[in-house]
């Protein structure tokens, strides 16, 4: 206790330095990259174009064996589970392979926070002994899974990049952590987030900035940015993030992975570390998976829901996973969210969405073009940020700890202040409770309009841009309108990677009153692109089913490798 008190008495800069040093020395010395390889990269990394995915450091370093490279590169979740179940791969082999790869990914992108490599190996050994005796713990037996830093693991820290939470070991597990343990998973690392969890750039004063694996001069997204980078580097077969405004889907689109935002409550969220007022959640956060393939997402969902989450978390929605008839057996009627004039799409995003529609129509699916007035994306964005802005506790936690605000938070606040907020202008001058009530009425109006769209247009699902942009330069992401409006509606949504930015010079300017980052084609060349598929609330099963159909359409031939 005396040591803890003395640490808390130190200036925050010294405490941060001690934390970073402890995290570095938690990496086994034999898993550290050769300094010559690191020195071969352009510096400073966050301002230079380093492609860590194609660097081939995993192979050239010699840290992973050929077998470990195959384990991390060639199999999806279903295949890994099958190989572990048959004994062709042990849980220990899988855990070591992904732990080594995560350690390398950390050195190249700064994606990790806490690591549990020795504990994970011991857990894997126990699981292997059980399997040898004909026993399995659950449907995820032996599968290594990574977690966002918000998840608490008893005995370790969940600082979420906040000085206020340094030196505070968790006294309990998050509900999902207990579930994953009971399902047989191996938890081996946690991943980086933004300060206050409320920007799209995973940068904080405790752990520093996570870099985009495809181009270190670009953001990895947020707030689950560490997860996005780790998955893209194949340092995890599947990981878990959280989403209150796009925090799963933004890292997925930035890093070129799949990401699924379920309906709130389907995946238990209880006992997570947060910095917002715990008694005020105008837009409830949710937890969901990120992976490198579409098929791994429903495996995770089905496994967690099979555990009867309500037994662990009173806030979980007590609805089991439903087996539904596959959408691949019929032609779909898909709505299309267009560009909102107030939130213009970067040219590559426009081109990728147009090509996706073309490929879907080519396969016989019907596309129903919606109008900006019907979709109300801009108005939903105004309502969302007005609701989230009612809570000043995150900002107070930063100020009270004495730490400085990271640049992305300041940039984000500037972007919101420049938004046209005429749809919520009538709440000014109201007290906080009256504001909340008025915004709730506006949210209900938007939800009602969308409900009418589903019915009148007879839609199976909707295709939309995942954001107005791809990954952009650090701290420049702007307001994530095309993700947050689905949080306001509490709709399940899946981000599907599709193509990359070609970097072609085109005439694109951000006009007055428009909310989107500047388009710098040469800087963004090679950045992943994505589209988004969503359904109405509690239709998570249908969302993933339709997303699989859409993904198969987009991946025909080499279409998914196209540059726009």
Helices (H) and strands (E) in the chain, counts: 21, 13
Encode pLDDT of 223-238 as tens digits: 999 999 999 999 999 9
Encode pLDDT of 19-48 as tens digits: 999 999 999 999 999 999 999 999 999 999
Per-residue pLDDT at 4 exceeds 50:
no
Per-residue pLDDT at 161 exceeds 90:
yes
Q: Burial letters for 84-97: b for 16+ Cβ neighbours within 10 Å, e otherwise?
A: beeeebbbbbbbbb
User: Which band of pLDDT confidence, cut at 50, 70 and 90, is reported for residue 3?
Assistant: very low
Question: What is the per-residue pLDDT for 311?
Answer: 97
Q: Are the C-beta atoms of residues 214 and 83 closer than 8 Å to each other?
A: no
User: Which band of pLDDT confidence, cut at 50, 70 and 90, is reported for residue 327?
Assistant: confident
Active-site residue numbers?
148, 223, 247
Total domains in the chain come to 2
| 223 in the same domain as 169 | yes
Question: What is the per-residue pLDDT for 7?
Answer: 66
Q: Which percentage of the chain shows pLDDT scores above 90?
A: 94
Distance CA 196, CA 222 (A): 11
Supply the pTM of this predicted model: 0.97
User: At a CB cut-off of 8 Å and minimum separation 6, what does 317 contact?
Assistant: 263, 264, 265, 266, 309, 310, 538
| 148 in the same domain as 214 | yes
Per-residue pLDDT at 1 exceeds 70:
no
Distance CA 293, CA 281 (A): 32
Distance CA 555, CA 564 (A): 15
| 352 in the same domain as 240 | no
Maximum alpha-carbon separation in the chain: 69
The binding site comprises 197, 223, 244-247
356, part of any domain: yes
Task: Return the SS3 of 186.
Answer: strand
Encode pLDDT of 483-538 as tens digits: 999 999 999 999 999 999 999 999 999 998 899 999 999 999 999 999 999 999 99
Q: How far is CA 271 from the centre of its chain?
A: 19
Q: How, if at all, do strands 493-500 and 461-465 pair? A: unpaired
188, part of any domain: yes
Instruction: Write down which residue in 280, 311, 342 finishes a domain.
Output: 311
User: At a CB cut-off of 8 Å and minimum separation 6, what does 195 contact?
Assistant: 161, 162, 203, 204, 205, 398, 403, 405, 406, 408, 409
Q: Are the C-beta atoms of residues 205 and 194 closer than 8 Å to each other?
A: no
Per-residue pLDDT at 350 exceeds 80:
yes
User: At a CB cut-off of 8 Å and minimum separation 6, what does 429 contact?
Assistant: none
Q: Are the C-beta atoms of residues 156 and 171 closer than 8 Å to each other?
A: no
| 349 in the same domain as 282 | no
| 516 in the same domain as 413 | yes
Alpha helices for 326-392 (secondary structure H): 347-362, 372-375, 377-388
Q: How, if at all, do strands 333-336 and 461-465 pair? A: parallel
Q: Burial letters for 365-401: b for 16+ Cβ neighbours within 10 Å, e otherwise?
A: bebeebebebbbbbbbbbbbbbbbeebeebeebbeee
Provide the token pair at 438. 């008025």
- Please name every residue paired with 496 in a beta bridge, in sequence order, or none if there are none: 531
CATH of the domain at 162: 3.90.1300.10
Question: What is the per-residue pLDDT for 2?
Answer: 41
Task: Give the residue among 79, 80, 85, 155 at the shortest CA–CA distance from 116.
Answer: 155
Q: Where are the beta strands (DSSP E) in 400-556?
A: 461-465, 493-500, 528-534
Provide the token pair at 393. 């506790």
Site of tokens 């969220």: 269
Encode pLDDT of 96-126 as tens digits: 999 999 999 999 999 999 999 999 999 999 9
47, part of any domain: yes
Task: Return the SS3 of 27.
Answer: coil
Q: What is the mean pLDDT of residues 213-222?
A: 98
448, part of any domain: yes
Per-residue pLDDT at 5 exceeds 60:
no
User: At a CB cut-off of 8 Å and minimum separation 6, what does 261 contact?
Assistant: 243, 246, 248, 249, 286, 288, 483, 486, 487, 492, 493, 494
| 399 in the same domain as 254 | no
Site of tokens 């791994």: 296
8, part of any domain: no
Provide the token pair at 413. 């606040």
Distance CA 343, CA 320 (A): 37
Task: Return the SS3 of 105.
Answer: helix
Distance CA 220, CA 35 (A): 24
40, part of any domain: yes
350, part of any domain: yes
User: At a CB cut-off of 8 Å and minimum separation 6, what does 525 contact?
Assistant: 501, 502, 503
Distance CA 503, CA 330 (A): 37
Task: Return the SS3 of 153.
Answer: coil
Task: Give the residue among 294, 269, 261, 327 at the shortest CA–CA distance from 540.
Answer: 261
| 245 in the same domain as 113 | yes
Angle at 354 between CA 353 and CA 356, to 5 degrees: 65
| 341 in the same domain as 299 | no
| 238 in the same domain as 346 | no
| 376 in the same domain as 283 | no
Question: What is the per-residue pLDDT for 562?
Answer: 94
| 376 in the same domain as 275 | no
210, part of any domain: yes
Q: Where are the beta strands (DSSP E) in 316-370?
A: 333-336, 366-369
DSSP 246-311: STTHHHHHHHT-EEEEPPTTSS--TT---SS-TT--SS--EEEEEESSSTHHHHHHHHHHHT-GGG
Encode pLDDT of 388-417 as tens digits: 999 999 999 999 999 999 999 999 999 998
Range of the domain at 526: 333-556
| 403 in the same domain as 307 | no
Q: Which percentage of the chain shows pLDDT scores above 70?
A: 99
Q: What is the mean pLDDT of residues 354-360?
A: 98
Provide the 8-state DSSP code for 482.
H
């Amino acid at each position: 206790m005396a040591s803890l008190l003395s640490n808390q008495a130190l200036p925050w800069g010294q405490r941060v330095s001690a934390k970073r040093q402890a995290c570095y020395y938690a990496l086994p010395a034999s898993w550290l990259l050769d300094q010559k390889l690191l020195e071969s990269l352009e510096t400073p990394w966050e301002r230079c174009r380093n492609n860590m995915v194609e660097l081939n450091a995993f192979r050239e370093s010699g840290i992973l064996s050929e077998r470990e490279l195959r384990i991390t590169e060639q199999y999806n979740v279903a295949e890994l589970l099958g190989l572990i179940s048959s004994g062709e791969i042990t849980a220990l082999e899988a855990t070591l392979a992904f732990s080594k790869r995560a350690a390398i990914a950390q050195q190249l992108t700064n994606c990790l926070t806490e690591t549990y490599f020795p504990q994970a190996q011991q857990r894997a050994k126990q699981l292997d002994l059980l399997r040898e005796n004909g026993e399995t713990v659950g449907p995820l037996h032996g599968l290594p899974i990574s977690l966002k830093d918000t998840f608490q693991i008893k005995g370790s820290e969940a600082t979420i990049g906040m000085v206020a939470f340094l030196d505070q070991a968790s006294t309990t597990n998050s509900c999902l952590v207990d579930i994953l343990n009971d399902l047989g998973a191996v938890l081996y690392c946690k991943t980086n987030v933004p300060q206050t969890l409320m920007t799209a750039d995973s940068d904080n004063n405790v752990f520093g900035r996570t870099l985009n694996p495809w181009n270190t001069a670009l953001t990895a997204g947020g707030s689950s940015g560490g997860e996005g980078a780790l998955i893209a580097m194949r340092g995890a077969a599947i990981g878990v993030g959280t989403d209150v405004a796009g925090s799963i889907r933004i890292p997925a689109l930035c890093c070129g992975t799949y990401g699924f935002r379920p309906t709130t409550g389907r995946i238990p969220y209880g006992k997570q570390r947060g910095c917002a007022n715990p008694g005020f959640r105008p837009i409830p956060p949710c937890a969901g998976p990120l992976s490198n393939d579409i098929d791994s997402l429903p495996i995770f969902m089905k496994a967690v829901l099979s555990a009867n989450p309500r037994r662990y978390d009173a806030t979980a929605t007590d609805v089991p996973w439903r087996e539904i008839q596959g959408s691949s057996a019929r032609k779909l009627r898909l709505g299309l969210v267009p560009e909102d004039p107030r939130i213009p799409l970067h040219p590559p995003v426009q081109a990728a969405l147009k090509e996706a529609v073309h490929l879907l129509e080519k396969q016989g699916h019907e596309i129903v073009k919606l109008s900006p007035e019907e979709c109300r994306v801009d108005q939903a964005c105004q309502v969302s940020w007005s609701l989230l802005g009612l809570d000043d506790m995150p900002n107070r936690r930063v100020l009270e700890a004495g730490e400085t605000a990271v640049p992305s938070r300041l940039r984000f606040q500037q972007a919101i202040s420049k938004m046209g907020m005429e749809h919520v202008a009538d709440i000014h001058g109201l007290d906080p409770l009256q504001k909340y009530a008025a915004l709730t009425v506006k949210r209900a109006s938007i939800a009602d309009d969308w409900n009418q769209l589903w019915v009148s247009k007879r839609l199976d699902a909707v295709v939309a841009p995942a954001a107005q942009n791809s990954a952009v330069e650090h701290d420049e992401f702007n307001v994530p309108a095309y993700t947050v409006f689905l949080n306001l509606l509490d709709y399940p949504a899946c981000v599907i990677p599709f193509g990359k930015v070609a970097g072609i010079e085109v005439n694109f300017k951000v006009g007055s009153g428009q909310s989107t980052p500047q388009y710098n084609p040469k800087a963004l060349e090679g950045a992943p692109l994505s589209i988004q598929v969503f359904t109405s609330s509690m239709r998570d099963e249908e969302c993933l089913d339709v997303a699989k159909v859409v993904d198969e359409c987009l991946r025909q031939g080499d279409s998914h490798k196209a540059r726009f």
